Chain A
Amino acid sequence: MDTLSLCAAESFEQVMEFYMPMVYRIAFTRLANRSDAEDVTQDVFLRYFRAGLTYQSEEHRKAWLIRCAVNCANTSAGSAWNRHRASGDILDNLSDPDQPGNEPGYSDCEENFEKAERRSAVMNAVMRLPDKYRTVIHLFYYEDMSIAQISGATGLGESTVKSQLSRARKLLKPLLRDYAECTGEVDF
């Protein structure tokens, strides 16, 4: 008897291992909070396990996970806790505690800020965008998804996705002006 096909990501653990960073990044882009992103990631894979769906290809599985991650992140962002949380928490969560610049006792706050700015100026600019633009930007520029794929994953219309991308770029330009002075004009 011939075996039809065996995918690399066969078992549930392998699926988690392979797609968990992607789901986490989508959730973090939307929520800008590490603990919330972890909760959403766990929720996504629990839903994946409970659904027990059969996927025709890895693209199908990936699309399902992305859509589920976007929906779960939107749900979490719409919760009362996240709606009333101070916006300053976003910048606090952007800094990685494992980085050497964030070690306690690092006295020069200005140098620390400059290092963090150099590392994640682009990310900070994206995180300052409105919530609905961040997911579109992430899916378009990081996951290399097309307008149609983003439309299918987010449930938005293609024209809406295009307009959101356009507005996000307009908003990013002034935010990246300082960074662009050193590296040249930003090419979207």
Chain B
Amino acid sequence: MNFKDEYKKSAESISPDREAIDRMKAAVMAKIAEEQGEFPEISESARSAEEHPEPTSHKKPLPFKRIAVIGGAVAACAVVTVSAMTLLPNLNTSDMVAASSVAATNGSAMDIAGGAAGETENDLIFEDSVAEAADDAVPDCGSGAAESTQIYEPIYSTTFPTYPADAEEDASDTLPIGDLGGYDGAAPGYAVPTEEVEPETYEEYDETTNRGNPVTGADPADIPQYPDNGSSASETVPDDPLDKANGIDSDIEQDAAEETGEIPLATEEPDEPDLNPSTGAPDNSIPEETLEIWCSDEADFCEETIECEEEDEEYEPRLLLSNKGWLTYDGVWYDLDSSVKTAMFPLSPVTITNTLDGKGYYLYVDGRVIKVFDEQKNFIGLYRKRV
């Protein structure tokens, strides 16, 4: 007994019959149809359907990349604007606090001293220190300590009359001498300025003299975030709900305005009507302008996408198929791989006409490889992209 022959005969009994083969083939084709959405046999009709798609069947996907880029740029600009509007008042406030404290303390010291002591050693040291600070803050002045101290002279003259005559008593009330810790008490208000003094000093300073920042030398009217009509940073960025929700920025601005003496103007003209451009906001309000700019940009963007679609539909790659073992498809060179003899006809080939002989061919482009079939779906050859 030959086991090989016997086994071959017996193995024939486990071969599938015709019905089983047809059943398996139908099942395979059905699964492929589920995956592909169509049967391979009807690829021609599917191809024609692809050539004439229904208008509602295919929707062009949204250009998420462009939207993300534009949105990111807008968000970055908004963040920079908000941070600038938040930080600049703080910087300006710190300058103003230093100036006010200097003015108030110097004024109180002079007032308390009553001119009896004249220029004591402490005053001389203070003037020198103020001059050095002014030089550090405004290096462009270039006039030295003498000019810097001259800038402060009108401040003293404006602050002195506003101070009450019994300032010595007020100063002694607000600043106990015992808390100064080793200070001799000759000028108690010089060490720590009181909060009651600062707003009065700056209101008088702004309204009467209208001079520049004593430290920086800049005119307050030139600072954009503090215009005279009372508009504030919250007005330039009106539609940020977080500012209103947490109130951080508004508090900071309010503190800054208190110290600069502009909070009454800002509070007299509330900017709530400017928040919504559709509720009768002024024509020169910033939100409407930004909205118009955004709309116009969006319109241009839509027109660009439409033009791109039209260009994509009109573009057709060209095939130059030679009989010498090379072809060019869409301007790319491919060389024949003669080692490949067979290939399965693909489901969704590209129908194209050879520019050289005018015959139709089926192409299947797979990365760096192109399979070419003739009109009878016979395999012509496999071409690889030329390196």
Give A contacts to B, CB under 8 Å: 1-7, 10-13, 15-17, 20-21, 24-25, 28-29, 34, 38, 41-42, 45-46, 49, 52, 54-58, 61, 94, 96, 98, 119-123, 126, 137-138, 141-142, 172, 176, 179-180, 183-188
Give the residues from 14 to 34 in chain B that come closer than 8 angstroms, CB to CB, to chain A: 14-17, 20-21, 23-25, 27-28, 31-32
B326 CB-CB contact with A under 8 Å: no
For the complex formed, measure the closest distance between the CB of B15 and the CB atoms of chain A, giving whole angstroms.
5
* Tally of B interface residues using CB under 8 Å: 46
Partner pick for B381 among A4, A20, A57, A138, CB 8 A cutoff: A4
**Chain A residues within an 8 Å CB radius of B7:** 122-123, 126, 137, 141-142
A136: min CB distance to chain B, Å: 12
CA distance A5 to B382 in the complex (A): 11
State which of B9, B24, B323 has its C-beta within 8 Å of the C-beta of A41: B24
A119 (CB) vs chain B CBs: closest residue:
B13
Name B314-344 residues within 8 Å CB distance of A: 321, 323, 338-344
Q: Is the CB of A42 within 8 A of B342?
A: no
Smallest distance from the beta carbon of A62 to chain B beta carbons, Å?
12
Does A54 lie within 8 Å of B27, measured CB to CB?
Answer: no
Question: Are B17 and A138 within 8 A (Cβ)?
Answer: no
B11 contacts A6, CB within 8 Å? no
Q: How far is the CB of B372 from chain A (nearest CB, A)?
A: 9
B3, A5: Cβ atoms under 8 Å?
no
B354-387 to A contact mask, C-beta < 8 Å, 1/0:
0001000000001001010010001111100000
Q: Decide: B32 and A185 in contact? CB cutoff 8 A.
A: no
Q: Which residues of B contact A13 (CB under 8 A)?
A: 25
B342 touches A122 (CB 8 A): no
Contact assessment for A185 and B1 in the assembled complex, using a CB-CB cutoff below 8 Å: yes
Closest Cβ of chain A: how far from B301's Cβ, in Å? 39
Interface contact tally, CB-CB below 8 A? 140
In the complex the two chains form, is A12's CB within 8 Å of B40's CB? yes
Collect the chain B residues with CB atoms within 8 Å of residue A24's CB: 14-16, 20, 24
Binding site secondary structure of chain A: helix
Given the interface pairs A25-B11, A42-B31, A122-B10, the reply to whether A187 lies near B341 with Cβ below 8 Å is no
Contact B379 A20 (CB under 8 A): no
- Are the C-beta atoms of B3 and A172 separated by less than 8 Å? yes
Query: What residues on A are CB-neighbors of B66 within 8 Å?
Result: none
Is A54 a contact of B28 with CB atoms below 8 Å? no
Q: Which residue of A lies closest to B6 (CB)?
A: A122
B6→A6 contact, CB < 8 A: no
20 new A-B contacts at CB < 8 Å, known A21-B21, A29-B14, A176-B1: A3-B379, A6-B342, A6-B379, A12-B344, A28-B14, A38-B27, A41-B16, A42-B24, A49-B28, A54-B371, A54-B382, A98-B17, A122-B10, A137-B7, A141-B3, A141-B7, A142-B7, A180-B1, A185-B1, A187-B2
A42 to B34, CA, bound (A): 14
Q: Decide yes or no whether B4 CB sits under 8 A from chain A.
A: yes
Name A45's contact: one of B6, B28, B374, B381 (CB within 8 Å). B28
Cβ B3 vs Cβ A3 within 8 A: no
Is B52 in contact with chain A by the CB < 8 A criterion?
A: no
- Compute how far the CA of A2 lies from the CA of B372 in the bound complex, rounded to whole angstroms: 12
Known: A3-B379, A126-B7. Contact between A56 and B340, CB under 8 A?
Answer: yes
Hey, which chain B residues are within 8 Å of A6, CB to CB?
A: 342, 378-379
| Inter-subunit contact A55/B3 (CB<8 Å) | no
| Cβ distance B7 to chain A, nearest Cβ, rounded Å | 5
A71–B164 Cα distance when bound, in Å, is 101
Instruction: Give complex CA distance A98, B13 in Å.
Output: 11
List 11 contacting pairs A-B, 8 Å CB cutoff, sorted by A. A3-B378, A13-B25, A15-B344, A25-B14, A46-B32, A55-B342, A56-B342, A57-B342, A98-B17, A123-B13, A186-B1
Q: Are the C-beta atoms of B17 and A186 separated by less than 8 Å?
A: no
In the complex formed, the residue of B with least CB distance to A96 is: B13
Residues on A with C-beta less than 8 A from B16 are 20-21, 24, 38, 41
**Is B346 an interface position by the 8 A CB rule?**
yes
Q: CA–CA, A176 to B2, complex, Å?
A: 12
The minimal Cβ–Cβ distance linking A188 to chain B, given in whole angstroms, is 5
Min Cβ gap B292→A in Å is: 53
In the complex, B8 has a CB within 8 A of chain A: yes
Q: Which residue of B lies closest to A7 (CB)?
A: B342
| Pair A1/B24 contact, Cβ less than 8 Å | no
A49 and B32 form a contact (CB under 8 A) = yes
Alpha-carbon gap, A186 to B5, bound state (A): 11
- Point out the residues of chain A lying under 8 angstroms from B380, CB to CB: 1, 3-4
Q: Which residues of the partner chain B approach A137 to less than 8 Å between Cβ atoms?
A: 7
Q: Which of B31, B342, B357, B374 contacts A46 (CB 8 A)?
A: B31
Residues in B neighbouring A96, C-beta threshold 8 A: 13
* Cβ of B226 under 8 Å from chain A: no
Q: Which residue of B lies closest to A98 (CB)?
A: B17
Knowing A1-B380, A56-B341, the reply to whether A119 touches B25 (Cβ < 8 A) is no
Contact A4 B4 (CB under 8 A): no
Given contacts A186-B3, A188-B3, contact A5 B342 (CB under 8 A): yes
